[in-house]
Amino acid sequence: MFNSKLSLLAVTVMAFSVFSCQQGNDEVRDAARQDIETVAPANPNAAAPDQPSVATPAGPTTALAFDEDAFNFGTVTEGEIITHTYSFKNTGSEPLIVSDARGTCGCTVPSKPTAPIAPGETGEITVRFDTRNKVGERQQKVTVTANTTPPQTVISLDGTVVADPNASK
Enter the pTM of the model. 0.66
Q: Is residue 142 situated within a structural domain?
A: yes
What integer pLDDT is reported at residue 165 of this predicted model?
86
The tally of domains found in the chain comes to 2
C-alpha 156/C-alpha 70 separation (Å) is 5
For residues 157 and 74, membership in a common domain is answered with: yes
Residue 147, domain extent: 64-162
C-alpha 25/C-alpha 30 separation (Å) is 9
Beta-strand ranges (E) seen in 44-97 are 64-66, 70-77, 81-90
For residues 107 and 26, membership in a common domain is answered with: no
For residues 80 and 133, membership in a common domain is answered with: yes
Pick from 38-47, 109-118, 132-141: least confident: 38-47
The residue type found at 126 is T
What integer pLDDT is reported at residue 50 of this predicted model?
47
Q: What percent of the chain has pLDDT above 90?
A: 60
C-alpha 101/C-alpha 85 separation (Å) is 13
CB–CB of 131/78 below 8 Å? yes
Say whether pLDDT at 55 is over 80.
no
Q: Is residue 68 situated within a structural domain?
A: yes
For residues 157 and 91, membership in a common domain is answered with: yes
Which of 164, 143, 161 is CA-nearest to residue 153?
Answer: 143
Q: What percent of the chain has pLDDT above 70?
A: 64
Q: Is residue 51 situated within a structural domain?
A: no
C-alpha 114/C-alpha 59 separation (Å) is 17
